[in-house]
A and B are shown apart, each in its own frame.
Chain A
Amino acid sequence: MSKIEIQSMIAPFTVTEVRDLCEASYVVRFSKRDLNFRPGQHLVVGVLGMSDAREYSVYSGRDEEYLEILVREVENGVVSKKLRRLNPGNNLEVNGPYGFFLTNAQPPANKKLLFIASGTGIAPFHSFVKTYPDADYTILHGIRTIDEAYEREVYGEGRYITCTSRDEKGHFHGRLTEYLKNLDIDKEAMVYLCGNSDMVFESIDILQEKGLSNSHIFTEVYF
C-alpha cells in the first residue's frame, strides 16, 4: 500500500539573521533542518503562530547549511513587515518546497542559460548560481536603482547585467525590456523569466519576435 509521504513540513524554523540589502529589501536567514530543495523552488513562509504566510523563492544555494529568502517590504503588506521585525531565535512556519521553475536548467542539462529578473525576482537565479557556479549563464536584472543589485559579487564576471530605470549606475540605463530588444540571443538558449507579470509578458513577446521557441521560455511570476 502506498502511504502518504509528507514532504512539506509545518514546523518551526529558527531565524538566525535578518540582513538589510537596501531600504526596501532584506534577506531572512533561518535554519534548514532537513528541508531539501532544488534552486528555483519556493517556500511558503510566515511567522510561527500567525495565520498569514507568503510564497518566497529560496535565495540561498542548495548546499548551504541554512535557508534564505529575499523579501521586498510591501507597503501595507502584512507578512513582509512582520518578517523584517524578526530577531535571531524567532521561529517561522515554513511549508514546501514547491514548484518546478529552473528544474530543467540544472545539470546535466548543460545548456546556455539566459536568466531575466525584475526586482526580487533575482532570488531563484541567485540560488541557482550559488549552487551551480560553473553553469553557462547570463543574468539580466531590471531594477530601479543600483542598490537593488543585491549581493552581485556572487555572479561571474560579465555574467550579470543590470538595467536601472531610475539612475544611470547600471550597465544600461532604462527598462530591462528596452535592453532585451537590442540583445543578440542564441536561439538555442534556455530563457527563464522571474518577476512581475508585466515584465514577464512583455519579455516573452520580445523573445518570440526574436525567434525563440516557446519551448525554450520558462516563467515564474511574482505578485
Chain B
Amino acid sequence: MKRISFKTLGCRLNQYETDTMVSEFHEAGYEIVDFKDEADVCVINTCTVTNQSDQKSRNMISQLTSRNPDAVVVVAGCMVNNHKEILEKNDRITYVVDNEHKNNVFMLVDSHFRGEILHPDQLPSDIFGYQTVDKSLHTRTSIKVQDGCDNFCTFCIIPSVRGRAISRNPVEVYENIRRVTENGFREIVITGVNIGRYDYEGLKFENLLENILELPGDFRVRISSIEPDGFGPGFAKLFAHPRLAPHLHLCLQSGSDPILLKMRRMYNVRSFMNIVNEFRRLYPLFNFTTDLIVGFPGETDADFAQTMQIAKEAAFSHIHTFRYSVRKGTRAERMENQIPEREKAARSSLIREISESNKVDYYNSMIGKEQTVLVEKILKNGTVQGYGEHYLPVEFRDPTAQQNTFLKVRLDSLNGKGLLGMKL
C-alpha cells in the first residue's frame, strides 16, 4: 500500500481542496500518513497571499523533500500560479500543479505509479471538479460555490493566482450538499474566494443561500469569509433561519476611509458599520470576526487610530491581523510611503490586544446562554469539545456524547481558549 502525506497552507478553500484529495486517495486504497512521517507521495497545497505564506510554502517544500528524498512530491496551489517557473526548475519536485489543474492530483500520482507520466497542464481543467469529502476527516466540510475574484484590491495577489470570478452551477452545489450530508456531515461551510459576488445566470449569493437552507437533511450552514460589498437587501434576514449559523467573518482590512480607498475596497467604514449594526439590531448576539491589514502604504498614526477605534466599536470577537507585505504585480507595490517593519509589528501587537479583549467581552456576554454544539472531539476523561452555532469553542462533560451529533449546552464560564458549559 502506498503511503501519502498532505500539507495544507492558507485558506479554508485550500483546506477543502486538500480534503477532497485525501478522500480520493483514501478511497483508492492509499494509506494517509502524517506529514512528518515517511511517505511515498507528499502533496503540499501552497499559499501565496503574503510574503510569509511564500516563505512557509518554500520551507515546507524544503523540509519535505529532504525528509522524503525518494518520494513523489506534488506542489500545488496558489504559489504555483505565482511562481510556476521557479518551482518547475526545482528537480526535487515531481509535479507542479496550478489551481486550474489541482483537481487532477490523484490522476497524476496514480498514473505515475502505473508508469504513465502525465503533464499537469495537459489534463482537463475544472476548478469545481473535486470529489466529495469523506466524513472521516472532520465534522464539518466546505462546499465550494465560487472561485476567483474580480475586485482587484490593490494589495492582493489572489486575482492573479485564482483567476477571474466564476460561480458554480447551483445544481452542482445542491448535489454536493446532498452527497456530503448523506455521508454524515452535520455542518457545511459555504466557501469560495469571494462568495458575496456569487452570480450564476442571475442567481445571486443570497438566493443560493436561501435555496441551500431549504434542502433536506439534518445539517447547519456556516458562511466562510465574506466581503462587505456583495450583500443583497435580504441577506441579513436569512440569518433568522435556525439552520444558518449566526457568525460572519466580515473582512474590514482597515478602519480608515482614506486607506480603504487606497486599498480599492468597495465600501467605506460607515457602510461597513451599517452592516454590523443592522445585524446586531436583528440578532444582538451575532458574532463578527474580521481580517485587518496593518502597515498598508501611507497608513498614518491617525489612520491606524481609526482602525483601532472601529475594531473596538465593531466588537469583533477575533481579528486576524496581517502585516502588510508587498506582493509583486499589485498596485500597492508601486505605492509610496511603505511602512517600516518595526512599526507594522507594533501596530499588529496593538490589534491583537484589542482582539483578545473583545473576545473575552464577547464570551462573557454569552455566559448563561444556550448553544447547540456540534461534537467534534471526545477526550478520554469524558470532556467533550465542539463549536456552538456562534462559532464559540465549547467544552463540557458528557459520558454518553457521540461525535458528530448536536447537543444543547448552557454556557457557564470561560476557560483558557473558549467556554465551559453544561449539557442540557
**A interface vs B, CB < 8 Å?**
1-8, 55, 98-100, 197, 200-201, 204, 214-215, 219, 221, 223
Contacts and interface: CB of A to CB of B under 8 A. Distances in A.
B163 interface: yes
Interface stretch (B32-40, B121-129, B319-327): B121-129
Interface stretch (B134-142, B262-270, B279-287, B351-359): B262-270
A4 B152 CA distance: 19
A214 B270 contact: yes
A201 B100 contact: no
A221 B166 contact: no
A133 B261 CA distance: 29
Contacts, number: 58
Nearest to B298: A197
B178 interface: no
Identify the 4 closest CB pairs spanning chains A and B, nearest first: A2-B128, A197-B261, A214-B271, A221-B261
Interface in B241-268: 257-258, 261-262, 264, 266, 268
A201 B268 CA distance: 10
Main secondary structure of the interface of B (DSSP, over half): loop
Contacts of B163: 4, 6
Nearest to A101: B266
B145 to A, nearest CB: 11
A5 B168 CA distance: 11
B258 A201 contact: yes
Interface of B: 100, 124-129, 150, 152, 154, 159, 163-164, 166, 168-169, 172, 257-258, 261-262, 264, 266, 268, 270-271, 274, 331, 334-335
B120 to A, nearest CB: 14
A4 B126 contact: yes
Nearest to A217: B268
Given A2-B127, A221-B262, 12 more contacts: A2-B129, A2-B168, A2-B172, A3-B125, A98-B159, A99-B150, A100-B266, A197-B258, A204-B257, A214-B271, A214-B274, A223-B335
Given A2-B126, A3-B126, A221 B264 contact: yes
A8 B335 CA distance: 26
B199 to A, nearest CB: 11
B334 A8 contact: no
A207 B13 CA distance: 39
A99 B152 contact: yes
8 contacts: A2-B126, A2-B129, A3-B125, A4-B127, A55-B331, A98-B152, A98-B159, A223-B331
A7 B164 contact: yes
B355 to A, nearest CB: 27
Contact of A4 (B150, B166, B264): B166
Contacts of A6: 163-164
B261 A201 contact: yes
B166 A223 contact: no
Contacts of B124: 3
Contacts of B258: 197, 201
A100 B150 contact: yes
Contacts of A7: 164
A215 B335 CA distance: 28
A102 to B, nearest CB: 13
Contact of A204 (B127, B154, B268): B268
A102 B381 CA distance: 60
Nearest to B169: A2
A194 B77 CA distance: 35
A201 B261 CA distance: 8
Contact of A1 (B129, B159, B261): B129
A200 B265 CA distance: 13
Contacts of A2: 126-129, 166, 168-169, 172
